[in-house]
Structure 1
Amino acid sequence: MTTKNTIDLGEFQFLSGESIPSLEVAYETYGEFTGDNAVLVCHALTGSSHVARRPDSGGDTAGQARAWWGDVVGPGKAIDTSEYYVVCANAPGSCYGTTGPSSESPETGEPYGTDFPPVTVGDWTRSQRKLLDELGVGRLRAVVGGSVGGMNVLDWLRRYPDDVERAGVVASAARLDPQCLALDTVARRAITSDPNWNGGHYYGGPEPEDGLARARQIGHIMYLSKASMSRKFGRRSAGRETVREEQPDPAAAFFPYREVESYLDYQAEKFVDRFDANSYLYMTRAMDDFDLSAGYESDADALAAFEGELLLLSFTGDWHFTTEQAEALAEAAREASVDVAHHVVESDHGHDAFLVEPEKAGPPLSDLLETGLAGRAITDTAGEDEPAESESFAPVHTSLFSE
């Protein structure tokens, strides 16, 4: 059983103090609700509610071409929709059906643009709680998310600790480090310095595609590791048949158009067709703003009220959210007496690993949902004692950050 819907939650006040008269939330559900089997999945930066494949999709996925975690969520998959009632909602500020900057304001009849209120991860969590209330879901069997979706999970643990039995935080951290903050700053400046950005009120006219393309290229570099980039591209030329649509400067024609350049240009071209520039500004600011300890004495203090189980999953090649950051979060959870396990996966795929290696990300999450932390031997690195069933999760090289 799958559903795709949009619900109007009515007037919504953001944590900034600003309100909008109507917040519509796009969501999808999978499976049948039995009262104690609900799993909330929180999407990453440019994800949508389309987390798993739907037999009736007909190609209409609100702009996102494929289910972003379809190799982890679905019938017989790690998050088994034959057993669990899975809910995934698009976050406020995005552009995949939930109200955001590109949505029409009921008060003006025009797109909000940058008049849309500032959005935080806390606003995502509060909108999800309201949605679940409307769906009749109280306490969650689990809440799971990757990347900034993992921050969304952490916010659930500090904001609604009694509503979550188990939590899976994948490739995430308690906050971004200064290097990632800096790169996000440059990405946003690429958008706002595009002449077509027009202060965020570009709807109905030329859009800031060049700025958004540059911003997304910076993002792709952040999501890959040195090893994965070397393996994928090296210093190879893209070949005689591959040419730039436009030469960036007169001297460029003399030098080779490299595979890594071609890849970045291709991904940027696809991205500007499916995502809104203002939403990219809003979503990255929400991620940058998140700090688990904000309003608390420490990360441990923020987690102290959570009495469930917490699984942290990190990847060795990920320099966006490092294994060291995940371990620091695990230490905070231990200090707060939270039942926690940190599962480190050997991978050179970078931050993209939780999407492109479902055979590694899936089994720990499956065990978490089925038996909790006691049902799995969590080791320092995934490897020799990886359960045999992990072999059924065949890697499919798809990426939330690509399409």
Structure 2
Amino acid sequence: MKNLKYINIPDFVNNNGKATTIKLSYQLFGKALHTAPIILLNHALTGNACVVGDQGWWNDLIGDNKCIDTLHYTVLAFNIPGNGYDDLEENLIHNYKEFTARNIAEIFAKGLQHLLINKLFAIIGGSVGGGIAWELAVLKPDLAEHIIPIATDWKVTDWIIANCHIQDAILNNSSQPLKDARMHAMTLYRTPESLTKKFSRSKDSQPLFEVQSWLNYHGNQLDSRFHLPAYKLMNQILKTIDITRGRLSFKEVASVIKGHVHIITINSDLFFKAEENWETYIDLKSVKQNVTIGEIKSLHGHDAFLIEFDQLSRLLNPIFEIKPVPNHSKFETVLKKCV
């Protein structure tokens, strides 16, 4: 079933100090574990561990001979516990407000420990998955050679907290919570310009505009495949991204990260604003040298990291390109003859 493997984590203590047993599921792609460099990929809010294959949500980026080449890397993807991907009621989390993004990073760290992984080539994640990447990088400063947060930041702003608050209200008060919350979220993930270009006020049937039908479609799709407790939890995880909570300043906290931080932002993102990402880059660059930033140019806003694969690949290629191993045999043969 979905090729899921499980790790049992007993007595995990959540943000409210309550101990619970966590069943952490995961999938592996590419080379066998411990035979190649390992990439940890964190999924987005309504995503899951299925990143490659028939239902793979990052097939354009990951696969044989693609940007992240599964002929050369091992790709590990955890399901955020409680995301409902395994369709098992007992693995859903109903006390969702007791969990934070940092808790998820702590759970992932325990999963890596169980798998005997103490070094990663890269941690990569988009949106909430990128926020968890930030949290994990601070929790385990020596873990990854590369940290790649995409369309995210080390903290959520008041704007995101406000919209997560609205999402939580919809999820708890609407008669069709998943559909309504998803329609609201879709308007945040795109831009006015993106919707204008896509629909131009066209109507597909009276009295609906195409944009209304599009929103209805996405709301219905999520309603058919997602679980209400899972959406509540994921919204809570998004709202709690903040690597400085209970700690020191951003510069002091983030400066301990040993790996190269590659920030990828989107110029039109209305959710995690590009300006915030550039400010993060400037602040971190003042205390840490191995920091870079790249920007995707797009009309499509936050969702551009799931749309603009050509641009994203160009930004990621320098990190994941396979460098050929020098062939010393000819040199060694010549050297022996000289000797």
Q: Which of 126, 146, 160 is residue 166 of structure 1 equivalent to?
A: 146
CA contact (8 A) 1:310 1:338 kept: no
Task: Give the corresponding residue for 1:318.
Answer: 269
Taking every aligned residue pair, what percent have the same amino acid on both sides?
Answer: 25
SS of 2:292's equivalent in the other structure is: strand
Could you say which residue in structure 2 is the equivalent of 1:218? 184
In the alignment, the residues of structure 2 paired with residue 292 and residue 43 of structure 1 have an alpha-carbon distance, to the nearest angstrom, of 18
Paired position in structure 2 for 1:234: 200
Q: How many residues align?
A: 321
Unmatched tracts of structure 1, length 5 or more: 55-65, 106-111, 195-207, 241-255, 373-403
Calculate the aligned-residue CA RMSD, in Å.
Answer: 2.2
| Residue identity opposite 1:218 in structure 2 | H
The match for 1:274 is: 225
Return the letter of the residue paired with 1:40. L
- CA distance in 2 between counterparts of 1:296 and 1:327 reads 22
> What is aligned with 1:92?
81
- Matching residue of 1:40: 40
Secondary structure of the residue that 1:41 maps to in structure 2?
A: strand
Q: Which has more strand, going by share of residues?
A: 2
Residue of structure 2 equivalent to 1:30: 29
Whether 1:303 aligns to 2:289 is no
Residue of 186, 191, 194 corresponding to 2:166: 186
- Contact 1:315–1:347 under 8 Å retained in 2: yes
Structure 1 residues 52-67: aligned runs within 5 Å: 52-53=52-53, 66-67=55-56
Runs (4+) off by over 6 Å: none
Superposed displacement of residue 282, structure 1? 1.4
In structure 1, the partner of 2:327 is none
Q: In structure 1, give the amino acid aligned to 2:89.
A: S
Partner of 1:390: none
Change (3 A) 1:34 1:363: farther
What code does the residue aligned with 1:149 have? G
Q: CA deviation at 1:36?
A: 5.8
Task: Tell me the SS of whatever aligns to 1:187.
Answer: helix
Letter in 2 for 1:103: E
| 1:234-266 Cα deviation digits (max 9, x unpaired) | 2111235xxxxxxxxxxxxxxx31111111111
In the TM superposition, 1:77-88 aligns within 5 A as 77-88=66-77
1:71 is the counterpart of 2:64? no
After TM superposition, give the deviation of residue 269 of structure 1 in Å: 0.7
Q: CA deviation at 1:371?
A: 7.9
Give the counterpart letter for 2:38 in structure 1. Answer: A
For the residues of structure 2 that align with 1:48 and 1:23, how far apart are their CA atoms?
Answer: 17
Match of 1:279, SS state, is helix
Question: How many angstroms does 1:278 deviate by?
Answer: 1.7
Instruction: Please list every run of 5 or more consecutive structure 2 residues that lacks an aligned counterpart in the other structure.
Output: 324-339
Q: Distance in 2 between matches of 1:277 and 1:24?
A: 19
- Specify the SS of the correspondent of 1:228: helix
Q: In structure 1, what is the Cα distance between the partners aligned to 2:127 and 2:147?
A: 14
1:390-401 aligned within 5 A: none
Show the counterpart of 1:16. 16
Per the alignment, residue 121 of structure 1 pairs with 101
For residue 114 of structure 1, report the CA deviation from its aligned partner: 3.0
Q: How far off its partner does 1:305 sit?
A: 1.0
Q: Does 1:291 align with 2:242?
A: yes
Aligned to 1:380: none
Are 1:349 and 2:295 matched, yes or no? no
| Aligned-residue offset at 1:6 | 2.4
1:35 CA displacement: 5.4
Are 2:89 and 1:103 aligned?
Answer: yes
Does the CA contact (< 8 Å) of 2:10 and 2:22 recur in 1?
A: yes
